[in-house]
Every structure is written in structure tokens, then in C-alpha cells.
A and B are shown apart, each in its own frame.
Chain A
Amino acid sequence: MATPAHAEPADHPAESSAAYGEMSFGKWILSWIMTSDHKRIGILYGLSALCFFVMGGIEALIIRTQLAQPGQHIVDAATYNALFTMHGTTMIFLGVMPFSAAFFNYMVPLQIGARDVIFPRLNAFSYWLFLCGGIVLNLPFLITPFVDMRVIPDGGWFGYATLTEKAYTPGASIDFWICGLQILGIASMAAGFNFIVTIFNLRAPGMTMLRMPVFTWMTLVVQFLVVLAFPCITIALVLLLFDRLFGTHFYMPEGGGDPLLWQHLFWLFGHPEVYILILPAMGIVSEVLPTFSRKPLFGAPFVIFSGITIGLLGFGVWSHHMFTTGLGAAADASFSVSTMLIAIPTGVKIFNWLATIWGGQLRLTTAMLFSLGFVCMFTMGGLSGIMHASPPVDLQQQDSYFVVAHFHYVLFGGAVFGLLSGIYYWFPKMSGKFLSESWGRWIFGVLFVGFNTTFFPMHIVGAAGMPRRIYTYDAGLGWEIPNMIETVGAFIIAFGVLLFIIDLVRSIRRKELVASANPWDASSLEWLCDSPPKVHNFDITPMVYSERPVWDKNHGPGPGYSLPDSHEHIHIPPPSIWPLLLALSVAWFLASWLMAGQWFEFGVCSAITAAICGFTSCFRWFLEPGH
């Protein structure tokens, strides 16, 4: 819709926050389903991720309850194996990744001074497809009582061949896993391209690459990782699907295949994936620490360049997940050295964060506490990572609880703490309200204590020889006490998460909007918009003069930004139903292959129908006016 400059977009009732009150409930729901507003899609990502995060957390609690004491039988072996598979898959693909996506969606256009992402409907398509993928992955929990085969994915989140082959896992469990991951892969790829193009093309005038906020920079690096890494797992999964459906032998040595092919393809995706999970949190921390220290980020270009280096090196270290597979001394040595190299840019980041807070005026808000917690816990994870970067040491630590401790320090103490910091930091911007600071401090405290109680003893029990993924263990190996402590810790974490959710709901339900545009006295462009931002974000696209436009405007020395007196058109993408329908068709098409595994003709017919629906949606989407 092209409207004259400064026009209130009231002629978009479905999209205008002012009009929500007058809408019927049905129309309100429909306005969310058809939305192509990056802010609403961001909120949808965030809420879905929170739901999946809670599911993954419940799985973890069952796992911890089972392991509280030796020889327990809360769940049987098969159920336990399904639980740890789903816990890993859920937390990575449905918890941390979409939580990061929530911030990409909401914040990146605001940070670069844009009105939306460059392809708003593609953005909606990504979200709906992600949701379909999450549902397909979790559907087996609902259907398992009605079928007499294994349907809940149980091959581990890493799904090593040959275990995932039909010969060793006959049921439909691996098919559901393949299908769910393929759907999620398409969603991530679409979002990846969308954000790369957005960041390159929609920056406000004057915002050069090096004036971009670090969070946007890290988003950019992550999207490159996504579009380069996801094809590897897509191919790996297609080959596995062919092995399972059509009897090919890509991973079966009997037919000339090689199970290590899977591991190479998987980790060539899987290691960059680690950085896909952690870099957004690093970006958030690089925003929060300077804001609450009232200083600029120390060595910002170095922090950015370190992020890029981590991303690049991330593609050259995958075989450190395979030090025990016998690749040979030369391969072990080179992958060991490349892995150690990653410690250098990571160290640079940590030192720059420390230098940022050094000499500042630290306001210890909840957001700041979580960011400081991130630096503290992520350092732990990094240091234990250096241990198993040495292949001989890895021969003792790989697949033991030591590794479980290591990556939870990186992904929970790191990524999740960073994301929580982001929630506390940006919640006023997104809602116009604050989360309770007094609750926030308690929540941080409970989570920090619970986290360390759960995961620190895993270092000890791992070094005492406890392997991963075992549903039971014997007494007398010195594993009982640490396991009991870990279980207690897991429930402390659950309590912290419960407090957080209560406070979140409480805060959202509050009516009055109290947050000013820039409550934290921060520096980047999102703090120029209202809290919450108008549908069109900025009345006038700002002209940017520095890397801290809003700060410089308030505190000098430079002008920071200016609002040129131009008569630009405000373009807001109209709502559309086709992204949702296309997403459903794509998910249906891929799910048809699931059915084909059990009932071939039906599956093929279903796939053809889905393809027809998909093409129809594509055409309608294409023909729909974008203005």
C-alpha cells in the first residue's frame, strides 16, 4: 500500500495495534495468521520457541528423574532413548534456533532502520513452516499409544548410521525425524536468504556495514552459516531416506556404502550449527554489556571480525566430533589444530567484553546479570572445550558426561542466558511494559544456581567414566552422588523457568504502557521507535552518522542521526494467507514420504495432492498484489 508520507496506517485495521480492541476474537486470530509484519512474526517465533523449550525441559526432567539413582525404572530403555533424542532435537531446532529467530525478526529491521524485512511473506512462510516442522517432530508423542511400532524419534539428535537404517530401526521413528528436520531446514534456509538480502539492502542511509549494530552483524554471520550448513544435512537426510525407502546403500557397508559418510555430512552441518546457536547470543551480549556499562563496545570491529572468523573456521573443524572414529593421525592432528584456532577469536570476544565493562558505570539490571552470567558460564564451556580439542584427551571424554557438561555450559549457560538477557533487554521495546526487575534478579539467581548444580557435577561424573545416553547405571562407581545433585539442580532450573513464565504472563497482561522509547539509554536505532513500535516502525527513515546513532544524539559528540524532511512513501506489506497455505502444502508433501515408508501408494497419491496444493498456493501468492 502506497500512502503519503507520515500517514497513519489506520487503513490497515488488521495490522494496526490501535485497532486490536475493536476487533472480534476471530478477526484478531485471523490477523495473526495472515500477518506479514516482522514484529508479529518475531513474537510468534518467540512464543512457539518458549512452548517447545518447556517441552524439551519436561523431557530433561524425566531423564534426570530416571538417573537420580542407580538402577531406576521410571521409564524403560526404549522410552529413555526417545526422550534424550527428542530433548536434544527440540532444544536445538525448536528451542534455541527459533528463539534467536524471534530476535532476528523483531530487531534486525528496527536496528537497520527498515520498515520490514525485504520479503515479508517469505518471512511468514518461514515461520509457519518452522511450526509445521516442530509439530511433525512431536506428533509421534500423540500417536504412539495407537500404533504398535516405534514412532518417537530414537536415533539420537545426531542420528548416526547405521543405527538409523531400516535394518536396525524398522518402525517410523526415524522417518518422522527425517521429515521434521527437512521441513525445519527449508524454513531456516528461506529465513536465512531473507535476512541476508534484508541486511545488505534495507539499511537506512548512512548506515555503513561497520556502523551496523553487533547483533545485526552476528545475525548476518549466522544466516550465512545457515544457508551454507543446512544443505549438508539436507543431503545427508535425503540419502538416509533413500536407504530407508528404496533400499540404497549410502551408509551400509554391505552395499559398498560407509557409515562415516553420514558423520562427515552431519558434522559439516552440525558444527556450524553450534555457532548458529551461540553467535546470536554473543550479539545480544555485545549490545547489553555496553548499554548497561554506559560505554561503547570495546574494540567493536574486532568483536565483529572475531564473529566472522568463528563462522569461517566453524566449517573447518567438523571432524573434532569424530576423533574416536579412527580417521588417522594426520586428520586428527589437523582438525585438532583448527579447533584450537577457534579458541583465539572466542578469547578475543571475551577479552573485549571484559574491557567493555572495565571502567564503566555498571547498572546491574536483570538483562545485565544474564549477560555477565553468559560471559562467566560461556568461558567455562570454552575452557572445557579446549580439553577435548586435544584428540588424546578426547579419547577419554568423548561420549562421556564430561562432554554433556561442556556443551550445556555453551548452550545453556551461553546461548540460553544470552537469549534471556535479550528478553529482559528488549521486552520493553516489544511490549511497552517492563518485566519485573525484583523477580528478574531472583530468576537469574535461581537459574544460575540451578544451572551450575545441574551441570558442574557432570564434569566430575564424566571424568569418573560415566558414558552418555545410558538409561541406567550401577552403584559403586562413584556416580551416585553427582547424579543425585544433578537431578536436584534440574528441578531448581525448572523452578526458575516457572518463575520466569509467571512473570512474563503477569507483565504481558498489565494494561498500561510505561516504557519510553529508550528506557535503557541505549545506542542503536530500535530505541528511536516507540515502545512498542508503530506498524511502520519509523515515521521517517533516519539518516545515520555513527555506529551509535541514538546515543550520540543524546550525549554527543556527533549528531548520531537526523530525520530528513522527505516525502517518502511508507510501504507496509499487506496481510496474506498464502504463506501459511504454502507452508502447509510443503509440510504435507514431505510428510507424505513418511506415509510412503509404510504404505507406498497412499503416500505417493498424498504427495501428488500436496504438490498440486503447493503449486496453487505459489501461483496465488505470486499473483497477489504486494502493494
Chain B
Amino acid sequence: MRIPRSPLASRAASAGRSIAAVLPWLGLALLTGCNESTMSTFEGHSDLTKSILDIYGTITWIDTALFILVQGVLIVAVIKFRATGKETELPEQVHGNLPMEIGWTIAPVLILMMIAIPTVSLIFDSQAQAKDGALIVNATGKQWWFQFGFPQYNFETANELHIPLGRQVDIRLQSDNVIHAFWAPQIAAKRDMIPGRVNHITFTADKIGEYLGQCAEYCQDSHALMKFRIEVESSEDFEKWAKAQATPQADTVDDSEGYKAFQGATCVACHAIDGTNAQGHIGPSLTHVGSRKRFAASVLEMNEANLKLWLKDPSAVKPGCKMPNLKLTDEQINTIVPFLQSLK
């Protein structure tokens, strides 16, 4: 179903207002230096996160007003009615007041309507089916990394998600083990990855940049180290990237020293490299792994030193890591590391 201009998009237009609306919080955040954070929920760079900020702002103002009201009355009462110890009479024994009770039952109803109405409409808007032509991404939570499959482009990568600017994205969240949650605060907000189910996040990114994401559902040992990044790039850059990722590695890879060492160290049992006979599907695909900026669920920067550190003992970097310590010799590591880096 095609909607010419979704209410979501029109609401996104008023996002400037919403950012002003969370100013009280933002002020606090600035005090503590949160402004550097690219995990911050105070900034939205997609239609979805901007419309969330809208409601966030409304509630923040209402909450602030109620907070001042209640604490104000409390403080005034404590100052004004503090016993002096010289009272000779009891205070008036007021048992209640029906009109007041009715008043403060109805007033919250009206206030809550101000929150409930935009909330319910955004729930339905944001969970509407993706449009035709949306980019489909199959995101699968693993212990402890993210697998990203692009069925329309026929390739698979890990922990690094490139998406085009201005094109709707339909992320299909799954898991084949425990429950994880996909949380990229500025772009995609959050949904759970639940075994046996497929959840959707649909959104359109509106600013080029690199955004952080992290698993938000406790999933045991390395839950804290289960991260990913989203690269929002122009359509041309995205198409170029996708095309490169979908191309198998060159035929010559098979014959290289590095590949033989890779095979000899039994890496092939778990990892796949398209264009070779390494077709393991337990660990992340290593096709074009050299082109990724980071590895190990986005915990380590992709460079020689870090790759060596990782291959020496994966569990030392990520506790409980499913990749065993293969007790590789320095010689093996020195051959495999440049090989992995060469898989551009």
C-alpha cells in the first residue's frame, strides 16, 4: 500500500520544535557532557526517532509542570504549616472535600489525553507496513554479534550496517538463540530480536553519518560488548558498497598462503568466505572482512594489532566468546592476519 505522504513524515517536519521541547533534559545532559554521545536519545536522525522526540518533548513539559506543582505545594505546606509547639488548639479536622476529589480525578484524565492521543497515533503510524521499494535487512542477533543480511542484494555481513539516505529501511529482527534487542537510539530506536519471531523496525534516515547501536536485552556474558554501527550514506555510495559486498572474493584467494593457513587452523568450520570453499555459518561471514572498520561486534578497530590480539585469545577480549582459543602459533597468526586484512 502506498501512502503519498505519511503522517510520520509530516510530523518529522515539526521535529525542530520537539528538540526545543526536550531542552530541560538537554540542559542537564550538556552539564555532564552527553552532547558528544552518538548514543544519545536527545537527537533523532530519522523520521521515526524524530517523531518519538516529539512525544518525548510533550511529556517532558507536562512532567516538569506537574513536578513543580507537587513539590511546590509540598514545600510550601512544610514551611507554612510547621508546628511551633505553641499551638493551643487543634487544626481544623477536615475529613475531605468531594468537589476537590472530583477535580483531581478529572484533571489527570485531561492531561493524560494530551499524551495518549499522539502516542496512539504514532504507535499505528510507526508500525505500518513498509512501502514497496524499501530496503530489506535481515538482522539476526547472535551471542554476541549482529548478522546483517541483504536479501535484495544477496549478501551477508556482520556488525556494520550501511543504509542509504532517504530510502525507507525495513529491518527484520530475528534471533536463533536467546533474546537480544536492536537499539540504535538516533536512527532506529529499539526492538527485540526474539527466537521464533520476526519483528520489524521501519524508518527513513535523514542525515549522513555513523551511528552507534548496542544490544539492550541482557543476553549473558558479553552482552556489554555486543555492539554495531549504522553508516548512513548517499544512495550512490550505498549502491557501490552493496555491489562490492555482493561480489565474491577473487578466485586467486583460494591459492594464497593465507587461505591455506586459514583452512589449516580450522577457521573454515565456522566462517564463510564467498568465492572459496569456506562455507561455515556459525561465526560471522568473513567475505570482505578487510573492508569493515571494526570487528568483534564492533568492539575492536580493524587493524593488525587488534586482529592479532583477537586471534591469540578471543575470550580475553569478549568473555564467554563462542569462538574457541585455537592456540594458534605466532607463525599462523602472522600469516592469517594479513590475509584477513586483504579481503577488501
Contacts and interface: CB of A to CB of B under 8 A. Distances in A.
B250 interface: no
Interface in A113-137: none
Contacts of A325: 191-192, 194, 199
Nearest to A398: B190
Given A325-B199, A478-B32, A364 B221 contact: no
Interface in B173-205: 173, 177-179, 181, 183, 185, 189-192, 194-197, 199-200
A575 interface: no
B81 A359 contact: yes
B222 to A, nearest CB: 7
A3 B70 CA distance: 54
Interface stretch (B121-129, B157-165, B266-274, B305-313): B121-129
B41 A332 contact: no
A350 B101 CA distance: 11
A200 interface: no
Interface in B84-101: 87, 90-97, 100-101
B70 A260 contact: no
The contact size tier of chain B is: 35 or more
A577 interface: no
Contacts of A5: none
Contacts of A248: none
A261 to B, nearest CB: 11
A333 B124 contact: yes
Given A163-B179, A329-B127, A337-B116, A348 B105 contact: yes
Interface in A77-127: 77-78, 81
A457 B28 CA distance: 9
Contacts of A376: 71, 74
B82 A259 contact: no
A270 interface: no
A117 to B, nearest CB: 30
A478 B35 contact: yes
Given A343-B108, A457-B32, A390 B41 contact: no
A77 B224 contact: yes
B59 interface: yes
Interface in B35-89: 35-42, 49, 51-52, 55-56, 59-60, 62-63, 66-67, 70-71, 73-74, 77-78, 81-83, 87
B282 to A, nearest CB: 15
Contacts of B97: 298-299, 355
B84 to A, nearest CB: 8
A477 B91 contact: no
Nearest to A299: B96
Interface in B261-280: none
Contacts of B101: 299, 302, 348, 352
B83 A362 contact: yes
Nearest to B25: A463
A390 B60 CA distance: 12
B189 A344 contact: no
A295 interface: yes
A376 B212 CA distance: 36
Nearest to B40: A464
B219 A163 contact: yes
The binding surface of chain A is classed by DSSP as: helix
Contacts of A519: none
A329 B121 CA distance: 10
Given A351-B104, A391-B123, A460 B28 contact: yes
Interface string A285-321: 0000000011110111110000000000000000000
B130 interface: no
B119 interface: yes
B90 A555 contact: yes
Interface string A352-395: 10110111111110000000100110011001101101111101
Given A328-B127, A336-B123, A347 B67 contact: no
Contact of A258 (B34, B93, B196, B219): B196
B95 A357 contact: no
Nearest to A480: B33
B39 A466 contact: yes
A356 B297 CA distance: 56
Contacts of A355: 94, 97, 100
A26 interface: no
Interface stretch (A28-36, A185-193, A468-476, A560-568): A468-476
A552 B143 CA distance: 66
A479 B41 CA distance: 13
Nearest to B36: A478
Contacts of A372: 74, 78
B96 A465 contact: no
A291 to B, nearest CB: 12
Contacts of A302: 96, 101
A481 interface: yes
B192 A326 contact: yes
A399 B216 contact: yes
B120 A395 contact: no
Given A259-B179, A329-B124, A467-B214, A348 B104 contact: yes
Given A364-B82, A469-B218, 17 more contacts: A77-B319, A301-B96, A325-B194, A326-B197, A336-B119, A355-B100, A363-B83, A376-B71, A387-B63, A390-B55, A390-B119, A391-B123, A397-B41, A464-B34, A465-B41, A469-B224, A478-B37
23 contacts: A77-B221, A160-B179, A160-B217, A168-B220, A169-B220, A294-B91, A299-B95, A299-B100, A302-B96, A302-B101, A324-B181, A324-B192, A354-B70, A355-B97, A386-B62, A386-B112, A393-B59, A396-B189, A463-B40, A469-B224, A471-B224, A478-B34, A479-B37
Pairs of residues from A and B, 6 with the lowest C-beta to C-beta distance, nearest first: A465-B39, A253-B196, A470-B224, A478-B34, A326-B199, A299-B96
